[in-house]
Structure 1
Amino acid sequence: NLPFSFIFFNGASRLYRSEDFGKTFTDVSKVLKNYYIRKEFGINVGPENSKKVILTADVSKLKAGGAIFRSSDSGETFEFINLPFHPSQGMTFHPSNPSQLLAYLTGVLCCLDDVNARGNLHLQRTTDLGKSNTKLHTNIYSFGFAGQFLFCSVIHNQSLPRSILVSVDQGDTWNEAQLPPVSHEQFYSILGADNEMIFMHVDEPGNTGFGTIYTSDDRGILFSKSLERHLFVDSSGANDFTNVTSLRGVYITNVLDINNTIRSVITFDSGGEWRALKRPSNSQCDKTAKNPEQCSLHIHSTYSISQKVDVPVPPLTAPNAVGVVIAHGSVGDVISTLLPNVYVSDDGGYTWWKALNGPHYYTMLDSGGLIVALESHPDRAVQVIKYSTDEGQCWHSYNFTNETFMFVGLVSEPGAKSMNVSLWGYKQENLYKTTWLSYTIDFNELLTRDCDERDYVLWLAHSTDFGSRTDGCILGCKERYQRLAKSSVCRNGRDYELSKEQAFCQCTLADYMCDFGYYRVGNDEKCVEQSDLKDKVLEFCLKGKEEQSGSWSRCGVERIVEGQTRPQGLGLD
């Protein structure tokens, strides 16, 4: 969690390291041995152990392999390691086993006419940070991983469509996912996954800009249709699928309507039902709306950023800031390209309010107990930072400098536990001289009191029907959290752990996903057969053996989407 910075000069990279949250930096470039570091691959920090750092060296393709620098002490020292291959993307730590690295290779140079030819790539695994590797699969078009699932798109024959293989044992064994095959002009994209399910986007034929979201069973093999006309632009890879990590089961994305307008939808049950976002209580419908009676909130994210809409940062959530969502948006019948405002939800997206006028940079500190924001003004100086201690309802201002500071960006320690935020920018000394500056603001000077048990309140997640026996029951489970009261002005602290009570509850049809070959029409709870698979025996291959789908789920409903133990539920016979 230490800030790093690169400067590129005379063909070699310069590396700076800070041990005090960016307040001071030390030049540690000598550890790079005059190598140029591939900036596009970034600085890769281990997800579970921030002391692990990987840098990818820029090595000539004429050499037999590439090279990396690895550190196990937060960048204080680095070890140089030669690789037996050239990575074509930055190495990534395995999400469930950080001692393993995943690499995307360009193939064997002597065997390929085009070293970037997709379909001829090899997927390899290393368990010793690149010292050795094991080949997992060949004929790779692309690969990815999320949760417990490792995926690869393979081409067995250049004249046949691509298929998706899934592994839950880090690539030792593979099964084919039951998804629609795609041509060479189409694509698959893993939108998100955990240890229970996968969200997969399947592109529509033609350059349509949309596709269909499918959700999987817990093996990652059987998929059912979740959302049609999902916005996903192949040319830029831009899509707005957002995992609201602050509340279980919540995701937000955008769909492309037939008239080429874009609108936002949200699901609270992991893709079982999608609906419009409620209009914020303190906002009116945008003047550009053609159907004001259909007014709702629409969220700007990656696609808007790619289209140069003034959206400085995408939506923000954090697992330890329960229920809090911060996002840029507009209010109308469809998304607007007018200057967006900042909206905040404190209940995982059920309700919203306008928190700030105009576009801002923002981040969360102290497990959501503190939100900070700066106005986005690319063409003029910024001297004031805004902060909120009540989840964005009220805002205060702090003048952090009197200099002419041209703000570029802000950064805080990953995990939203820090009380420090660093602001990066520059000042123009004269026509020929620019000085880069970093301001670090320590909010421990503002919030001096540690929170105690009197500062927390009990909150029922997914509560929409107060007093009802089923209130808060989603996917067969109720969850209650101890969260900071909005009136409390104190600090959670770095050691703060979210307190949660969990209880199983009565399932409904909506808590179950449709079996393979079935789907829900709109938000109807009933599952109906896909027309192209009606009256057919649905078989799939599992570990080399044919299995028949739907053998115990005659009504087309397969299983509850989430939950370690099957709760009380419906008799589905």
Structure 2
Amino acid sequence: MIWRLVVLSGLCVLLLGAEGSSRGGRTVTFHRTQQDESQGQARARPRRDISGSSGTPRPSHGPPFTSCKTPLTPAEHTVLDDNTHETGFNGDDGSHVILTWVGDGTGVVLVLSTFSAPIDSFFEGGSSRLYRSTDYGKSFHDISHRINNTFIREEFGVSVGPGSSVILTADIPVVEHRGGVIFTSTDAGATFKFIQLPFHLAQPITYHFLNPDYLVALSIEGSLWLSLDFGAKWTKVHDGVHSFSWGAGNNMFFSCSQVDTVEADERGDLVLKRTKDLGKTFTTIHEDIYSFGYIGAFLFFSVMEDPRSPRVMYFSSDQGNTFSRALLPSASTEQFYSILDGDEDMLFMHVDNPGDTFFGTMYTSDDRGILFSKSLERHLFDGQRKSDFTNITSLRGVYLTNKLDEDGRIRSVISFNRGGTWRQLNKPKNVDCGEQVTKCNLHIHGEHSRNNRIVPMLALSEPTAIGLVIAHGTVGDSLSSSQHPDVFVSSDGGYNWRGTLRGPHHYSILDSGALIVAVEAQREGQVKTIKFSTDEGQCWKSYNFTDQPFFFAGLASEPGTKAMNVSVWGFRPEEDGQPMWVTVTIDFQSLITRECNANDYEEWLAHSTDESDTERDGCVLGVKETYRRLKKQSVCRNGRGFVVSKRQSPCLCTREDYLCDYGYYRHVNTSDCVRQSSSANKTLELCLNGEEDELLTAGYRKVPSDRCEGGFSPQLAVQTVIRPCGVKTSPGPPARSSSPVTHFDTPRERLVLILVCAGAGVIVLVAIVSSVFAVKRVVYRNRTPVYRFSNLQIQDDDNGITADLESATSSNGAACQQDSDDELIE
């Protein structure tokens, strides 16, 4: 009875490893008992209700969204029955199961089940079993003997790398052994090699991005270790390390203490170092580091320049050779910085507001990570340091997030131009809000809702399923927690939506979007039915995959959406009181047998909103993209060989493809960029790498990554001399007393924000009263400046804005995982 109560109140935990599908593997963890989601969040702010509505969630009402009533035929049911495979695992296997896909298209699945029990006050003991499948989860074989039946850790026991590499970490008591134990495999688990480590692991082993033989590990004593032969031999790199990250090539970055120990109170007094030759030599990049990260092409770190001062952000786009302070507000210890997303072109950064406001300001960076533009105000970031920010990967330039408005309600907004402008989502065509609702829009549940157990899954999109987005949401004036969410689908990247399933569901995209599967979320019941759709959720069919329902734990499918197999995981109570893990794998390829041909596809213009404007319709960042994608009515399979096909054509340039350059703004009554009156006859006070040089500008700069051609072209007309300022280069740690950043001691010497235009909006630049601020930028002598990507237009602000350092906000960045204090800039 006790076990049953735990299950009914339990929550399945689904984790996608940071190495994930980009490295050919995916790790999913299932827990049979409820896990404390607050673990690892000791510094998180307390929760408060910011849902904008209250009351007990009520069930969704109304008839099913779809009117399609086409149940499975007896023949279809027979085919699925013949290709549905159920596997049970012994009841004493424990309450923790890790499922790992290995490689791409190998069909190999490893399942590790563990049972932990405390032996004494110092460590835990237990048992574990390892199972392997070579047919996409249809059948499993116990291979525990290949690892000598060793107890594998629950916390980070399985790590999948590039290719077919796997590392298992044994749970060895520290008091009995001089080092830990790992098992390595290079053949997807067919064989394993036993390796005794000279240290005990403090966190998962990290693979190199490109070379799976290069491994980095951090010991519980704070020592950084490196292996160049896939774990066979290890060499100590450095002591007193707090965190580390691979950079480009063989660059490795790490923060460390000056006294070779790592204590929590030393954050803010760490040193950021780099090694370019795999630990042979080191370069000090900066001192007084609080935390750092690496994402895309950017190295970023927050600095405590004075123990009494807030943190400030620095960025480097050349592996730390040079760096500059970002034009962002500083952050106190109660605030944090958060990198929401990034690539080689730009970064999205959240700047937390002071106090327990649960919101902040989102900024987008230029291509050097120095100049930041305000993108969205009142961006939601809840008390558990969780953001609803989502990159819609099925269409270029689309991002989705939630904001906390002044009335205390959460509302969803979407951007189709990489944060340039944001707007609310359109109301689904097949849903009405009612006569009393004045503003009717779709609002999407994000990480905040998932943490509060309102939804079981976040929004889902895949790069191979062009335009397809699946998400939980509610329709009305704001996001509602007083009714269970429904499932909504968009086929055009978020422009238009339709309701598809009533109530919360678990869902997955298969066969590059040609197939969607879903299982209804049951908090107190057991499942036996899976729903599937071949037309992007317009119609659904249901299939009972088992005669013995079980408690649902999660859906698992091969990463990359190429496969047509899906496994439903769960557990059943047995007569002896012990639960049994069970997985049911369904092969839909047996049902959808026809390969798609040319007639099954159509040409689709992305971002098309105005067919009457044939010249500009679909233009985003200066280019049109026409995709070849599957028709909704086509019932066929894309297959593993499917490749996304698109045709690009440049658009004619307009003023919308240009931003006003430094020191310029777009006049209210014209579309021209005009020199700031305060600096009309003065040298533009910007610093380029500490050297005096000339910057030629016409007052405009093209949005980098904008590929428009012809049309509007500003004429080079103004020559500006750039004056020198403090040099910020590496190597060599800058001393506190000689920091290149100007400090301000009086209120009169605070930072003042001046407004410079950005398209139809404005960019917030930071200038300094009676001083020169550093902005590192490439010098263009004989041509108009061309950038890869920089600041997009933002929402209009009212005239000038001032920022006081004592009340300014800041932002935090994620290098590996979105909620790690050590791997995010706080």
The bucket for the TM-score relative to the shorter chain is 0.7 to 0.9
Are 1:24 and 2:167 matched, yes or no? no
CA distance in structure 1 between the partners assigned to 2:174 and 2:210 by the alignment = 32
Question: Aligned partners of 2:139 and 2:608: how far apart in 1?
Answer: 46
Hey, what does 1:229 align to over in structure 2? 378
1:455 aligns with 2:455: no
**Paired residue for 2:340, among 191, 197, 222?**
191
Provide closer, same or farther for how the CA distance between residues 455 and 183 of structure 1 changes in structure 2, counting only shifts above 3 A.
same
Name 1:421's counterpart in structure 2: 566
How far did residue 296 of structure 1 move? 0.5
The question of whether the paired residues in 1 share the 8 Å contact of 2:178 and 2:199 is answered with yes
Match of 2:267 in 1: 118
* Number of the residue aligned with 1:40: 155
8 Å contact 1:450–1:491 — kept in the other structure?
yes
Contact 1:223 1:516 (8 Å CA) reproduced:
no
Q: Hey, what's the Cα distance between the residues in 1 that align with 2:558 and 2:569? A: 14
Q: Distance in 1 between matches of 2:189 and 2:276?
A: 20
1:325 and 1:22 map into 2 onto residues whose CA distance is 26
When residues 571 and 133 of structure 1 are mapped into structure 2, their CA distance, relative to the original with a 3 A threshold, is: same
Give 1:5's match in structure 2, choosing from 111, 127, 146: 111
- What does residue 343 of structure 1 align with? 488
Match in the other structure for 1:493: 639
Residue 433 of structure 1 deviates from its aligned partner by: 2.0
Q: How does 1:535-546 map to 2 (within 5 A)?
A: none
Unaligned 5+ runs, structure 2? 1-24, 26-100, 102-108, 116-124, 219-240, 243-255, 716-826
Any conservation in 2 of the 1:82–1:131 contact (CA below 8 Å)? no
Q: Give the Å deviation of 1:208.
A: 1.2
Shift in CA distance, 407/131, structure 1 to aligned 2, threshold 3 Å: farther
Residues 258 and 271, structure 2, Cα contact 8 Å, conserved in 1: no
Per the alignment, residue 426 of structure 2 pairs with 278
CA contact 2:268–2:304 (8 Å) conserved in 1 = yes
What are the residue-to-residue correspondences of 1:204-223 with 2, within 5 Å?
204-223=353-372
Tell whether the 8 Å contact from 2:157 to 2:170 is kept in structure 1 after alignment.
Answer: no
Deviation at 1:194, TM superposition (A): 1.9
Change (3 A) 1:77 1:170: farther
Deviation at 1:211, TM superposition (A): 1.0
The answer to which structure, 1 or 2, has the higher relative contact order (CA under 8 A, 6+ apart) is 2
In the alignment, is residue 377 of structure 1 matched against residue 522 of structure 2?
Answer: yes
CA distance, structure 1, for counterparts of residue 360 and residue 351 of structure 2? 5
Q: Deviations over 1:384-414 (max 9, x none)?
A: 1000001111111111111022111001111
1:352 to 489, 497, 507: 497
Aligned counterparts of 1:306 and 1:254: Cα–Cα separation in 2: 15
Superposed displacement of residue 139, structure 1: 4.4
The secondary structure found in structure 2 opposite 1:427 is strand
CA distance in 1, matches of 2:171, 2:690: 42
1:481 corresponding residue in structure 2: 627
1:270 deviates by 0.5
Q: Distance in 1 between matches of 2:354 and 2:665?
A: 20
User: Which residue is 1:51 aligned to?
Assistant: 164
Output the CA distance in 2 between the equivalents of 1:180 and 1:64. 47
Q: Cα RMSD between the aligned structures?
A: 3.8
Matched, 1:153 2:302: yes
- Per the alignment, do residues 336 and 508 of structure 1 end up closer, same or farther by CA in structure 2, a change over 3 Å counting? farther
Q: 2:410 aligns with which of 256, 262, 275?
A: 262
Distance 1:360 1:481 in 2: 29
2:538 aligns with one of 393, 413, 424: 393
- Aligned pair partner of 2:705 in 533, 546, 562: 562
Secondary structure at 2:448's aligned position in 1? helix
Q: From 472, 479, 485, give the equivalent of 1:328.
A: 472
Q: Secondary structure at the match of 2:449?
A: helix
Using a 3 Å threshold, how does the CA distance of structure 1 residues 64 and 258 change in structure 2: closer, same or farther? farther
- Identity, % of aligned positions: 51
Alpha carbons of 1:208 and 1:156: their partners in 2 closer, same or farther (altered >3 Å)? same
> Residue in 2 aligned with 1:75?
189
d(CA) in 2 for partners of 1:410 and 1:56? 25
CA 1:276–1:514: 2 relative to 1, 3 Å: farther
How far the C-alpha of 1:88 sits from its partner, in A, is 5.4
The one-letter code matched in structure 2 to 1:504 is P
Number of residue pairs matched? 559
Normalised by the length of structure 2, the TM-score is 0.61
| In structure 1, C-alpha distance between the alignment counterparts of 2:407 and 2:527, rounded to whole Å | 40
Residue 164 of structure 2 aligns with an amino acid whose one-letter code is: K
CA distance in 2, matches of 1:300, 1:533: 46
Amino acid at match of 2:314: L
When structure 1 is superposed on structure 2, of 108-117 and 197-206 the one drifting more is 108-117
**1:297 equivalenced with 2:442 (yes/no):** yes
C-alpha spacing 1:200/1:95, structure 2 compared with 1 (3 Å): farther
Deviation, structure 1 residue 516: 6.5
* Residue aligned with 1:189, SS: strand
State whether residues 315 and 326 of structure 1, in contact with CA within 8 Å, keep that contact through their aligned partners in structure 2.
yes
Alignment equivalent of 1:143, drawn from 283, 289, 292: 292
SS at match of 1:319: coil
- Residues 200/6 of structure 1: CA separation in 2 closer, same or farther (3 Å cut): same
Q: 1:216 to 1:307 in 2, by over 3 A?
A: same
Amino acid at match of 2:531: K
Change in CA separation of 1:146 and 1:266 when aligned onto 2, cut-off 3 Å: same
| 1:252 corresponds to 2:400 | yes
Separation (CA, whole Å) in 2 of partners of 1:344 and 1:5: 32
Report how far residue 18 of structure 1 moved: 2.3
Aligned mates of 2:301, 2:174 — CA distance in 1 = 25
Q: Distance in 1 between matches of 2:283 and 2:189?
A: 29
TM-score in terms of structure 1 length: 0.86
Aligned pair in 2 of structure 1 residues 111, 96: CA closer, same or farther (>3 Å)? Answer: closer
Larger Rg: 2
TM superposition shift of 1:44: 3.7
Quick one: which amino acid aligns to residue 605 of structure 2? Answer: L
Quick check: 453-462 or 504-513, which moved more?
Answer: 504-513
- Structure 2: distance between partners of 1:6 and 1:226: 44
Shift of 1:451: 0.7
Contact preservation (8 Å) 1:541, 1:547: no
d(CA) in 2 for partners of 1:259 and 1:98? 51
- Mean Cα displacement is larger for which, 263-272 or 424-433? 424-433
Taking structure 1 as reference, are residues 448 and 561 closer, same or farther at Cα in structure 2, changes over 3 Å only?
Answer: same
Query: Aligned partners of 1:336, 1:82: CA distance in 2, in Å?
Result: 53
Cross-structure match for 2:59? none
Q: Which is worse superposed, 160-169 or 431-440?
A: 160-169
| Matches of 1:255 and 1:566, distance apart in 2 | 32
Q: Which residue pairs with 1:178 in the alignment?
A: 327
Alignment match, 2:15: none
Amino acid at match of 1:246: S
What SS is found at the alignment partner of 1:304?
helix
Q: Deviations along 1:524-549, whole A, 9 cap, x unmatched?
A: 9999999x99999876666565889x
How far residue 76 of structure 1 moved from its aligned partner, in angstroms, is 3.4
Alpha-carbon offset, residue 422 of structure 1 = 0.7
1:383 and 1:12, CA in 2 relative to 1: closer, same or farther beyond 3 A?
closer
Q: Distance in 1 between matches of 2:149 and 2:532?
A: 42
Shift of 1:553: 5.9
Matched, 1:470 2:470: no
Separation of aligned partners in 1, 2:675 and 2:215: 41
- Provide the C-alpha distance between the structure 2 equivalents of 1:412 and 1:222, rounded to a whole number of angstroms: 41
Letter in 1 for 2:187: D
2:652–2:708 CA contact under 8 A, matched in 1: no
Structure 1 residues 512 and 320: CA distance shift in structure 2, 3 A? farther
Post-superposition offset of 1:159: 2.6
Judge which range, 159-168 or 439-448, deviates more: 159-168
